Amino acid sequence: MNKIVVGNLKMNLTLNEIKEYVEKMQEINKENVIIFPTNIFIPFFLNKDYNIGIQNICSEDRGSYTGEVSARQTNSLGIKYILVGHSERRKNNNETDKKINKKIKLANKYNLNPILCIGETKKENKLGMTKMVLKKQINNALKDNKLNKIIIAYEPIWSIGTGNIPSKKEIERIILYIKNYVKKIHKIEDVKVLYGGSINKNNIEYIKRIAGLDGVLVGKASTNYSEFIDIINLYLK
């Protein structure tokens, strides 16, 4: 797979907006575009030329868990990707390292490709703790999980939704660190690293020049179909 563009719609857009969004996205016929709609709208996105993913799965395999969706159910719908460890879920939904680890295990069991989100806070960044934080998040997520490929999204928490992005050099340094570390310590040969945080159509050309980057994860700007289509075309052309 070439470079990847991920759109995370989070809890945005209502039925009519989704219908319009899906219609406009028809022109996107690239399998390396992955859209993560809000769960209830997933059926509108099925059987398209682009891929879709689920924003979250339950950390339990099956059973009585009201409001949850399992990896097995996700697989049965033909979905191929899941987001794991997004900082919003780590912060608001008790997405602990232990749960993240279990979710990756289930993803593996049911043939879903996890996109593991990792990132440091502003304070950790200022204190020079970034690599240490990322290393811990990676280790806890991948421990005892036998994977032969993984997509990791580097998303500095201080960059998500703020308009601030690290320098190109800084992102390049982190990408290299993540790739080397995961290959060496976790013996995963196929490691792709995405960047996420405040990406929009104005900075996508800048992001595109980052060496070693395998793709981008777009939040807010992906909820506007015309901006998202611009981002996809600019990044993948």
**Residues of the shown chain interacting with ligand PGA in the complex, contacts defined by CB under 6 A:** 8, 155, 160-161, 196-199, 217-221
**How near is the Cβ of 32 to ligand PGA at its closest, in Å?**
17
The number of residues making up the chain comes to 237
Which residue in 62, 82, 85 sits closest to 73, CA to CA? Answer: 62
**How near is the Cβ of 196 to ligand PGA at its closest, in Å?**
4
Beta 4-8 vs 215-218: how paired, if at all?
Answer: parallel
Give whole-number Cα distances, 82 to 4, 69, 79, in Å.
Answer: 14, 11, 8
Q: Which is nearer to ligand PGA, 7 or 142 (CB)?
A: 7
Q: Which is nearer to ligand PGA, 188 or 199 (CB)?
A: 199
Choice among 68, 86, 88, 186 that is catalytic: 86
Q: Which is nearer to ligand PGA, 78 or 161 (CB)?
A: 161
- How far is residue 44's CA from residue 77's CA, in Å, rounded to a whole number? 12
Which residue in 66, 31, 58, 25 sits closest to 44, CA to CA? Answer: 25
Q: At what angle do helices 15-24 and 225-236 cross, to 10 degrees?
A: 30
Residue 5 backbone phi and psi in degrees, to 5: -120, 120
Q: Which is nearer to ligand PGA, 87 or 130 (CB)?
A: 87
Within 8 A by CB and 6+ apart from 10, the residues are: 38, 55, 88, 219, 223
Q: Which is nearer to ligand PGA, 210 or 218 (CB)?
A: 218
Choice among 88, 95, 124, 155 that is catalytic: 155
**How near is the Cβ of 111 to ligand PGA at its closest, in Å?**
24
Instruction: Report which residue's Cβ sits closest to ligand PGA.
Output: 219
**How near is the Cβ of 160 to ligand PGA at its closest, in Å?**
4
84 contacts 58 by C-beta, under 8 angstroms: no
Q: Is 86 an active-site residue?
A: yes
Within 8 A by CB and 6+ apart from 158, the residues are: 120, 121, 122, 125, 164
**How near is the Cβ of 81 to ligand PGA at its closest, in Å?**
14
Q: Is 186 an active-site residue?
A: no
Give whole-number Cα distances, 68 to 41, 59, 78, 193, in Å.
Answer: 15, 9, 18, 28
Q: Active-site positions?
A: 86, 155
